[in-house]
Structure 1
Amino acid sequence: MRVRVTVGGSTWTTAIFPDSARGSYVLPIKRAVRTAEALDAGDIATVAVKLIDCASAPPRGS
């Protein structure tokens, strides 16, 4: 699913991917964003995610 993501002062467009093993989605965060926002592995960050492409969203309940 295509999304617009904001972490700190960084906003970008990307996609989130289903992780069936965990029953959740994976959000890749670009290296440039991790550097700009001083994020390291294991850090906790506040993330705003806005769905921008509903056509690729799986049907509810699947």
Structure 2
Amino acid sequence: MGFGSLRVRATIGSTWTNSISPDSAWTSYLLPIKRAIRPTEDFDAGDIATVTVELIYL
């Protein structure tokens, strides 16, 4: 992973693997929600979700 990204397994209802990337402006990480997950979980831009994130160690 480059630029400080970390490989994770994310769960909202559906579970998927992805990478989170550091966001220095917010001193946090960004988790993209895959396009296939958004309609399944009925998410739109601006929605708030509770997400479980597990680090995947390589």
Any gaps of 5 or more consecutive residues in structure 1? 56-62
Any gaps of 5 or more consecutive residues in structure 2? 1-5
One-letter code aligned to 2:7: R
One-letter code aligned to 1:27: L
TM-score with structure 1 length normalisation? 0.79
State the Cα RMSD in Å.
Answer: 1.1
Matched residues in 2 for 1:45 and 1:24: separation? 16
Matched residues in 2 for 1:21 and 1:45: separation? 21
User: Segments of 4+ in structure 1 off by > 6 A?
Assistant: none
The structure with the larger Rg is 1
Aligned residue-pair number: 53
Structure number with higher helix proportion: 1
